[in-house]
Amino acid sequence: MRNLLYILLLATLCTGCVSQRTVDGKEKPAQQFDAKEAAATRLALGLQYLQSGNYEQARVNLERARDYTPDNPSVQTGLAFYYQQVQDFEMAERYYRKAIQLQPNNGDTHNNLGALLCNMGRYEEAEQSFNRALNISDYVKVAATYENAARCAARAGQEQKSDQYFQRAINHSSRNSTILETYAAVLLEQQRYQEAADVLKRRAQLPQLSAEYLWLESELARQQNDRARQRSFGDLLLSRFPDSRQADAYRARAAATNS
Protein backbone atom coordinates (compact mmCIF):
# COMPACT_ATOMS: atom_id res chain seq x y z
CA MET A 1 0.00 0.00 0.00
CA ARG A 2 2.80 2.42 0.86
CA ASN A 3 4.52 1.74 -2.49
CA LEU A 4 1.24 2.30 -4.32
CA LEU A 5 0.71 5.66 -2.61
CA TYR A 6 4.28 6.63 -3.50
CA ILE A 7 3.67 5.79 -7.17
CA LEU A 8 0.42 7.77 -7.19
CA LEU A 9 2.16 10.73 -5.58
CA LEU A 10 4.90 10.68 -8.22
CA ALA A 11 2.31 10.50 -10.96
CA THR A 12 0.54 13.52 -9.52
CA LEU A 13 3.71 15.54 -9.14
CA CYS A 14 4.79 14.80 -12.70
CA THR A 15 1.51 15.78 -14.31
CA GLY A 16 2.23 18.18 -17.16
CA CYS A 17 5.98 17.49 -17.29
CA VAL A 18 6.16 13.97 -18.78
CA SER A 19 6.94 13.36 -22.42
CA GLN A 20 5.76 10.48 -24.58
CA ARG A 21 7.05 9.08 -27.85
CA THR A 22 5.04 9.10 -31.07
CA VAL A 23 5.11 6.38 -33.73
CA ASP A 24 7.97 8.07 -35.58
CA GLY A 25 10.06 8.21 -32.41
CA LYS A 26 9.69 11.92 -31.77
CA GLU A 27 8.78 13.19 -28.35
CA LYS A 28 5.78 15.38 -27.64
CA PRO A 29 4.58 16.81 -24.33
CA ALA A 30 2.02 14.77 -22.42
CA GLN A 31 -1.40 16.23 -21.86
CA GLN A 32 -1.15 19.34 -19.71
CA PHE A 33 -2.94 19.71 -16.41
CA ASP A 34 -6.44 21.14 -16.93
CA ALA A 35 -7.26 23.27 -13.89
CA LYS A 36 -10.90 23.79 -14.87
CA GLU A 37 -11.53 20.09 -15.34
CA ALA A 38 -9.75 19.25 -12.10
CA ALA A 39 -11.77 21.89 -10.25
CA ALA A 40 -15.03 20.52 -11.64
CA THR A 41 -14.09 17.04 -10.45
CA ARG A 42 -13.14 18.30 -7.00
CA LEU A 43 -16.32 20.37 -6.77
CA ALA A 44 -18.48 17.36 -7.64
CA LEU A 45 -16.65 15.23 -5.08
CA GLY A 46 -16.95 17.93 -2.44
CA LEU A 47 -20.69 18.25 -2.93
CA GLN A 48 -21.11 14.47 -2.80
CA TYR A 49 -19.19 14.31 0.47
CA LEU A 50 -21.25 17.21 1.79
CA GLN A 51 -24.49 15.44 0.93
CA SER A 52 -23.33 12.29 2.71
CA GLY A 53 -22.29 14.23 5.82
CA ASN A 54 -18.53 13.74 5.43
CA TYR A 55 -17.70 17.36 6.09
CA GLU A 56 -13.95 16.90 6.42
CA GLN A 57 -13.56 15.42 2.93
CA ALA A 58 -16.08 17.90 1.55
CA ARG A 59 -13.94 20.79 2.72
CA VAL A 60 -10.72 19.25 1.41
CA ASN A 61 -12.14 18.81 -2.08
CA LEU A 62 -13.92 22.15 -2.20
CA GLU A 63 -10.82 24.03 -1.09
CA ARG A 64 -8.75 22.18 -3.69
CA ALA A 65 -11.30 23.21 -6.33
CA ARG A 66 -10.97 26.81 -5.14
CA ASP A 67 -7.18 26.59 -5.37
CA TYR A 68 -7.44 25.38 -8.95
CA THR A 69 -9.97 28.03 -10.05
CA PRO A 70 -10.20 30.86 -7.50
CA ASP A 71 -12.52 32.89 -9.76
CA ASN A 72 -15.06 30.11 -10.32
CA PRO A 73 -18.43 31.22 -8.87
CA SER A 74 -19.70 27.63 -8.66
CA VAL A 75 -16.80 26.72 -6.40
CA GLN A 76 -17.44 29.75 -4.21
CA THR A 77 -21.08 28.68 -3.92
CA GLY A 78 -20.02 25.14 -3.04
CA LEU A 79 -17.91 26.48 -0.20
CA ALA A 80 -20.84 28.61 0.93
CA PHE A 81 -22.95 25.45 1.08
CA TYR A 82 -20.27 23.76 3.16
CA TYR A 83 -20.01 26.57 5.70
CA GLN A 84 -23.79 26.83 5.88
CA GLN A 85 -24.00 23.12 6.72
CA VAL A 86 -21.42 23.43 9.51
CA GLN A 87 -23.24 26.57 10.74
CA ASP A 88 -20.38 28.98 10.15
CA PHE A 89 -22.76 31.55 8.74
CA GLU A 90 -20.27 34.40 8.49
CA MET A 91 -18.00 32.36 6.22
CA ALA A 92 -21.01 31.15 4.23
CA GLU A 93 -22.07 34.75 3.65
CA ARG A 94 -18.56 35.68 2.59
CA TYR A 95 -18.47 32.96 -0.06
CA TYR A 96 -21.97 33.74 -1.33
CA ARG A 97 -21.00 37.39 -1.76
CA LYS A 98 -17.81 36.39 -3.55
CA ALA A 99 -19.85 34.22 -5.91
CA ILE A 100 -22.21 37.14 -6.57
CA GLN A 101 -19.27 39.43 -7.21
CA LEU A 102 -18.01 36.97 -9.84
CA GLN A 103 -21.48 36.31 -11.32
CA PRO A 104 -23.91 39.12 -10.44
CA ASN A 105 -26.83 37.80 -12.50
CA ASN A 106 -27.07 34.37 -10.89
CA GLY A 107 -30.51 34.39 -9.29
CA ASP A 108 -29.91 31.14 -7.42
CA THR A 109 -27.04 32.67 -5.48
CA HIS A 110 -29.05 35.75 -4.53
CA ASN A 111 -31.87 33.46 -3.40
CA ASN A 112 -29.51 31.28 -1.36
CA LEU A 113 -27.93 34.31 0.26
CA GLY A 114 -31.40 35.59 1.14
CA ALA A 115 -32.25 32.30 2.84
CA LEU A 116 -29.00 32.45 4.81
CA LEU A 117 -29.57 36.04 5.91
CA CYS A 118 -33.11 35.19 6.99
CA ASN A 119 -31.80 32.34 9.14
CA MET A 120 -29.40 34.86 10.68
CA GLY A 121 -32.34 37.13 11.58
CA ARG A 122 -31.34 39.81 9.05
CA TYR A 123 -34.78 40.00 7.50
CA GLU A 124 -34.56 43.27 5.61
CA GLU A 125 -31.30 42.26 3.92
CA ALA A 126 -32.78 38.86 3.14
CA GLU A 127 -35.76 40.47 1.40
CA GLN A 128 -33.39 42.61 -0.64
CA SER A 129 -31.53 39.49 -1.77
CA PHE A 130 -34.75 37.71 -2.72
CA ASN A 131 -35.88 40.73 -4.74
CA ARG A 132 -32.52 40.90 -6.53
CA ALA A 133 -33.08 37.31 -7.64
CA LEU A 134 -36.62 38.09 -8.75
CA ASN A 135 -35.48 41.13 -10.73
CA ILE A 136 -33.16 39.05 -12.93
CA SER A 137 -35.00 38.70 -16.24
CA ASP A 138 -34.11 35.09 -17.04
CA TYR A 139 -34.43 33.74 -13.51
CA VAL A 140 -36.76 30.73 -13.54
CA LYS A 141 -37.18 29.73 -9.88
CA VAL A 142 -39.53 32.59 -9.18
CA ALA A 143 -42.15 30.64 -7.20
CA ALA A 144 -39.52 29.14 -4.86
CA THR A 145 -38.01 32.54 -4.17
CA TYR A 146 -41.41 34.08 -3.44
CA GLU A 147 -42.02 31.18 -1.05
CA ASN A 148 -38.69 31.85 0.69
CA ALA A 149 -39.53 35.55 0.94
CA ALA A 150 -42.96 34.68 2.38
CA ARG A 151 -41.50 32.38 5.03
CA CYS A 152 -38.92 34.99 5.95
CA ALA A 153 -41.55 37.71 6.28
CA ALA A 154 -43.55 35.40 8.55
CA ARG A 155 -40.49 34.86 10.73
CA ALA A 156 -40.12 38.63 10.94
CA GLY A 157 -43.72 38.93 12.15
CA GLN A 158 -44.85 40.63 8.95
CA GLU A 159 -48.05 38.71 8.30
CA GLN A 160 -49.45 40.92 5.55
CA LYS A 161 -46.21 40.89 3.59
CA SER A 162 -45.93 37.14 4.09
CA ASP A 163 -49.43 36.65 2.68
CA GLN A 164 -48.58 38.78 -0.34
CA TYR A 165 -45.45 36.79 -1.10
CA PHE A 166 -47.25 33.47 -0.65
CA GLN A 167 -49.97 34.60 -3.03
CA ARG A 168 -47.37 35.52 -5.64
CA ALA A 169 -45.71 32.13 -5.18
CA ILE A 170 -49.06 30.41 -5.71
CA ASN A 171 -49.80 32.58 -8.74
CA HIS A 172 -46.55 31.43 -10.34
CA SER A 173 -47.05 27.77 -9.43
CA SER A 174 -50.67 27.13 -8.55
CA ARG A 175 -50.33 23.34 -8.46
CA ASN A 176 -47.24 23.27 -6.28
CA SER A 177 -48.28 21.25 -3.23
CA THR A 178 -45.18 22.21 -1.25
CA ILE A 179 -45.99 25.92 -1.41
CA LEU A 180 -49.57 25.31 -0.27
CA GLU A 181 -48.37 23.10 2.59
CA THR A 182 -45.81 25.68 3.68
CA TYR A 183 -48.44 28.42 3.63
CA ALA A 184 -50.87 26.30 5.64
CA ALA A 185 -48.15 25.55 8.21
CA VAL A 186 -47.43 29.26 8.62
CA LEU A 187 -51.13 30.04 9.02
CA LEU A 188 -51.50 27.32 11.65
CA GLU A 189 -48.55 28.74 13.54
CA GLN A 190 -50.22 32.15 13.41
CA GLN A 191 -53.47 30.57 14.71
CA ARG A 192 -55.35 31.64 11.59
CA TYR A 193 -57.27 28.40 11.41
CA GLN A 194 -59.98 29.28 8.91
CA GLU A 195 -57.43 30.59 6.44
CA ALA A 196 -55.34 27.47 6.98
CA ALA A 197 -58.43 25.37 6.27
CA ASP A 198 -59.00 27.26 3.00
CA VAL A 199 -55.41 26.64 1.87
CA LEU A 200 -55.58 22.95 2.81
CA LYS A 201 -58.82 22.65 0.85
CA ARG A 202 -56.90 23.77 -2.23
CA ARG A 203 -54.12 21.33 -1.40
CA ALA A 204 -56.65 18.48 -1.09
CA GLN A 205 -57.57 18.96 -4.75
CA LEU A 206 -54.04 18.06 -5.88
CA PRO A 207 -52.96 14.46 -6.50
CA GLN A 208 -50.60 12.45 -4.30
CA LEU A 209 -50.77 12.59 -0.56
CA SER A 210 -47.76 13.66 1.47
CA ALA A 211 -46.81 13.20 5.09
CA GLU A 212 -46.78 16.97 5.56
CA TYR A 213 -50.29 17.40 4.18
CA LEU A 214 -51.75 14.66 6.41
CA TRP A 215 -49.97 16.07 9.45
CA LEU A 216 -51.31 19.56 8.76
CA GLU A 217 -54.85 18.26 8.37
CA SER A 218 -54.59 16.38 11.67
CA GLU A 219 -53.17 19.45 13.41
CA LEU A 220 -55.92 21.68 12.05
CA ALA A 221 -58.54 19.19 13.24
CA ARG A 222 -56.92 19.12 16.67
CA GLN A 223 -57.06 22.90 16.92
CA GLN A 224 -60.73 22.79 15.87
CA ASN A 225 -61.47 20.06 18.46
CA ASP A 226 -62.57 17.67 15.73
CA ARG A 227 -61.20 14.46 17.27
CA ALA A 228 -62.71 12.13 14.70
CA ARG A 229 -61.13 14.05 11.80
CA GLN A 230 -57.84 14.32 13.66
CA ARG A 231 -57.75 10.56 14.21
CA SER A 232 -58.77 9.87 10.62
CA PHE A 233 -55.90 11.88 9.14
CA GLY A 234 -53.52 10.64 11.82
CA ASP A 235 -54.29 6.99 11.09
CA LEU A 236 -53.78 7.63 7.38
CA LEU A 237 -50.46 9.33 8.13
CA LEU A 238 -49.28 6.35 10.19
CA SER A 239 -50.42 3.94 7.51
CA ARG A 240 -48.95 5.70 4.48
CA PHE A 241 -45.82 7.30 5.95
CA PRO A 242 -44.95 5.37 9.14
CA ASP A 243 -41.26 6.34 9.11
CA SER A 244 -41.73 10.05 8.47
CA ARG A 245 -40.91 12.76 10.99
CA GLN A 246 -44.56 13.81 10.80
CA ALA A 247 -45.65 10.33 11.89
CA ASP A 248 -43.19 10.54 14.78
CA ALA A 249 -44.67 13.90 15.76
CA TYR A 250 -48.20 12.53 15.59
CA ARG A 251 -47.29 9.55 17.77
CA ALA A 252 -45.60 11.85 20.28
CA ARG A 253 -48.66 14.12 20.32
CA ALA A 254 -50.98 11.14 20.88
CA ALA A 255 -48.78 9.76 23.67
CA ALA A 256 -48.74 13.12 25.43
CA THR A 257 -52.50 13.42 25.15
CA ASN A 258 -53.08 9.94 26.58
CA SER A 259 -50.58 10.26 29.44
What Cα–Cα distance (Å) separates residue 209 from each residue in 62, 168, 171, 177, 239? 38, 24, 22, 9, 12
Residues 95 and 113 in one domain: no
Q: How much is the pLDDT for 30?
A: 52
Same domain, 153 and 120: yes
Total domains in the chain come to: 2
Residue 13's pLDDT is what?
33
Boundary (domain end) residue, out of 114, 148, 174: 174
75/127 same-domain check = no
CB 110 within 8 A of CB 116: no
What is the C-alpha to C-alpha distance for residues 230 and 221, in angstroms, rounded to an integer? 5
**Do 114 and 163 belong to one domain?**
yes
Structural domain including 136 reads: 104-174
CA atoms within 13 A on the CB side of 155: 18
Question: In this structure, is residue 230 part of a structural domain?
Answer: no
Q: How many CA atoms lie within 13 A of 20 on its CB side?
A: 8
pLDDT in tens, 2-34: 343 333 333 333 334 333 444 455 555 556 878
* pTM of the complete model beyond 0.95: no
Q: Are residues 168 and 115 in the same domain?
A: yes
| CATH number of the domain encompassing residue 43 | 1.25.40.10
- Do 112 and 144 contact (CB within 8 A), yes or no? no
Residue 153 counted as domain residue: yes
Same-domain check for residues 95 and 120: no
Q: Which pLDDT score is estimated for 237?
A: 98
